[in-house]
Amino acid sequence: MTWATIATWRMAYEGMQKASEILAADGSAGDAVEKLINEVEAYPYYKSVGYGGLPNEEGVVEMDAAFMDGDTLAQGSVAGIQNVMHAVSVARSLSSEHYNSFRVGAGATKYASLHGFEMTNMLTDRAKARWQKRLRETQENNLNPYNGHDTVGAITLSNKGSMAAATSTSGLFMKKSGRVGDSPLSGSGFYVDSEIGGAAATGLGEDIMKGCMSYEIVRRMADGQSPQAACDEAVYPFIEKLKKRYGKAGEFSLVALNNQGEWGIATNVEFTFCVATDQQAPKIMIAYPDANQTTRIEPITKEWLDAYEKRIKEPI
């Protein structure tokens, strides 16, 4: 067997290095995907996930996360959880419960507290400064307050053929309290079946859930499509359908991995992602929507990476 992993955005890179070590050492798909996401959650300069994540309109960091075991189909999810360093680890713990495996709001936070998860104030000074600035901008210029909704979502395949999926996000910047996106929702933000493959999403959750995009990609792989064909044929026609029926479509991007280690991407915006396999060290790539409902994928450039590094650390 081969191991493999794919994840959304440049921010997954450092976590993917750790996940790859676990997978290369015959570790479990679940341990690898949790470790990958934990690294993103803990890094304060990634402003859409975990510590340093941007708050809701009231200045409160509310997080959504999910974990799914592709062998058993067990799932755990949290939404609107507060003060928890590793929301994905809470979700993974919940996935061992047959009842009450999806908890929201104060009930989710209570579960984390009762079960000894690390709790802290998740609003960094930097995130608070961004929130204060955005509040001023939206008041002064009557701007749409919403932007930034980058979820880290990842799929892993172990040497033993087991798969797992997980997501974590602080959600839409300036969201209303208790707003939930696709990330904790089965079939929308994530789905994985070790006998087929998995998919995960990032983007405007309100639109992703209108099409159950992750489930649709997995069921296309079940019908024999390659991950890339499944992504292209699920995502691009759905974007057209949304424009026609709903009048508009938000930004969204999907990653998929099958149980042979093959992967695919679809996106309607510039979108970075990370991939690693037993044949390929962790690598950052960039994808764009291309002509005829296909996806163009290119290596990342040093210029892009340097500009990114500068951007995430620039003064607020």
- Identified catalytic residue from 8, 109, 124, 151: 151
CA angle 146, 131, 86 (to 5 degrees): 90
For residue 152, give the amino acid letter: V
d(CA 307, CA 233): 33
Residues that bind a second copy (CB under 8 A): 71-75, 77, 79-80, 97-108, 110-111, 146, 172, 175-181, 185-188, 191, 204-206, 209-212, 215-216, 219, 241-242, 245-248, 250
**Shortest separation between residue 96's beta carbon and a second copy, angstroms:** 12
Q: At what angle do helices 87-94 and 105-114 cross, to 10 degrees?
A: 80
Least distance from a second copy to the Cβ atom of residue 44, Å: 25
**Is 179 labeled as ligand-binding?**
yes
User: What is the DSSP track for 8-70?
Assistant: ESGGGHHHHHHHHHHHHTT--HHHHHHHHHHHHHH-TT-TTSSTT----TTS---EEEEEEET
Of 16 and 61, the one with the shorter C-beta distance to a second copy is 61
180 appears as a binding residue in the annotation: yes
CB-nearer residue toward a second copy: 53 or 282: 53
**Closest to 126 (Cα-Cα) out of 312, 306, 309:** 312
User: Least distance from C-beta 100 to a second copy, angstroms?
Assistant: 4
- The three-class DSSP label of residue 252 is strand
Q: How far is the CB of 313 from a second copy (least distance, A)?
A: 28
Question: Tokens in use for 262?
Answer: 């093959």
The answer to whether 204 is a known ligand-binding residue is yes
Cβ-based nearer residue to a second copy, 146 or 304: 146
Q: Which long-range contacts (CB under 8 A, 24 or more apart) does 124-129 make?
A: 124/44, 124/51, 124/52, 126/44, 126/45, 126/47, 126/52, 126/316, 127/47, 127/52, 127/53, 127/54, 127/55, 127/61, 128/55, 128/59, 129/316
- Our answer to whether residue 2 is catalytic in this structure is no
Q: 153 among the known binding-site residues? A: no
Q: Which is nearer to a second copy, 258 or 277 (CB)?
A: 258
CB 197 to a second copy: min, Å: 15
The CA distance from 70 to 191, in Å, is: 8
Q: Is residue 181 annotated as involved in ligand binding?
A: yes
For a second copy, the closer of residues 86 and 210 by Cβ is 210
**Is 205 marked within a binding site?**
yes
Q: Which residues are catalytic?
A: 151
From the annotation, which residues make up the binding site? 179-182, 202-205
From the annotation, which residues make up the binding site for substrate? 179-182, 202-205
